[in-house]
Structure 1
């Protein structure tokens, strides 16, 4: 049974059941800290470090249905549900990750009971704010 760890997860779970909650989920998502796996980044388990200016990082990706997706997680617990061995990760506001990785597909909480694919087209609409117009006309 999925138990939300934070307000983002609670909204994500509610939005899956009630389309009226979707706009609130998207608004909170942009400023929420999410995590992506960075397998080649040198950080010891449990430690944090800032990114260096112009640092090159490798973000983990998976192939699914012919597309490349970045697994992204709404809490640290969701990471440990996904990978069994300690893995380095980058935590940042979703907005910043979306800017850092333009035209990328993200999959929030893959393998979780509460997951959400975010194709690049949806991320683009979210970043420009046009997704809120789309949601209004879909009602």
Structure 2
């Protein structure tokens, strides 16, 4: 059970259910206090005589990586408790600022709150946009492991331009086996948004970057678009009944 402990966690939970709130969350996160895990060289921290953590002078500290498939991401956390829940070995939790953390590691992917009910991946391209002050452009991924009620519907009008643009991008990704588009209504959300379910066998960041290229223009017409991998999703069966978004090159039967 994820109970928000501070303002940035409350914004994170809100953004997971309200796509329109995600730019606000991104803007707040950049200057928020966050936390990182630091592990000493050798992996051991000797306890002090009073039981408190003691870091010997000259000890080198480093941040452990978080694995996402074959990719290593830099983890950071919205509270000390999220960090402690993720790393079981000897470590210290140190405060940081998101903007400073991003600037110290140019070109690196990040993950907020790995293994938590609410977290977010940041691709290198997204980090670059955020550092440039672009909070509402490009795809963002917010993870919500807690169940959410979503009402899915078939659109009355097919968004031909959006489907064609997605198909062109997915045609260049052999990992994409199929994709389907529907409309989604989230609790407390007055406007419908697009939701895209993707069957893929490969790194999800590749799919996310392809979608980002499609969304570079105003192709959504004011709507937002959420994308999710279908494997293991409770929405998979329903989403596969949506509008097919598949490239022409998918095998002899296509």
Same fold? TM cut 0.5: yes
User: Aligned-pair distance for 1:119?
Assistant: 1.6
Equivalenced residues, count: 133
Supply the distance in 2 between the matched residues of 1:67 and 1:101 (Cα, whole angstroms). 15
| Structure richer in strand, relative to its length | 2
Equivalent residue number for residue 156 of structure 2: none
What TM-score results when the alignment is normalised by the length of structure 2?
A: 0.46
Q: 1:29 to 1:4 in 2, by over 3 A?
A: same
- Compute the TM-score of the two structures, normalised by the length of structure 1: 0.80
Indicate how the Cα distance of structure 1 residues 18 and 59 shifts in structure 2: closer, same or farther if over 3 A, else same.
same
Q: Map 1:15-34 onto structure 2 (within 5 A).
A: 15-34=15-34
Among residues 98, 116, 119, which one is paired with 1:115 in the alignment?
119
Per the alignment, residue 63 of structure 1 pairs with: 67
CA offset digits 1:58-90 (Å, max 9, x no partner): 221133222110111110010122123441233
**Counterparts of 2:104 and 2:46 in 1: how far apart (Å)?**
20
Deviation at 1:4, TM superposition (A): 0.5
- Cα distance in 1 between the residues matched to 2:52 and 2:13: 28
Alpha-carbon deviations, 1:3-22, whole Å to 9, x = none?
A: 01111111111111101110
Measure the CA separation in 2 of the matches of 1:57 and 1:120.
Answer: 24
User: Which of the pair has more CA radius of gyration?
Assistant: 2
Q: Distance in 2 between matches of 1:39 and 1:69?
A: 16
Cα gap change, 1:43/1:120 in structure 2, threshold over 3 Å: closer, same or farther?
farther
Over aligned residues, Cα RMSD in angstroms?
2.8
SS of the aligned residue for 2:116 comes to coil
SS class of match (1:130): coil
Runs of at least 4 residues of structure 1 off by over 6 A?
A: 41-47
Q: Which has the higher helix share?
A: 1
Could you say which residue in structure 1 is the equivalent of 2:148? none
Unaligned runs of 5+ in 2: 140-216, 223-254
Correspondence for 1:74: 78
Q: CA deviation at 1:133?
A: 4.1
1:84 corresponding residue in structure 2 = 88
Structure 1, unaligned runs of 5 or more: 50-55
Structure 2 partner of 1:52 = none
Matches of 1:64 and 1:130 in 2, distance apart? Answer: 25
Check the 8 A contact 1:62/1:69 in 2, yes or no.
yes
Asked whether the 8 Å contact 2:74–2:111 carries over to 1, the reply is yes
- In the TM superposition, residue 33 of structure 1 has moved relative to its aligned partner by 1.1
Question: SS of the residue aligned with 1:79?
Answer: helix
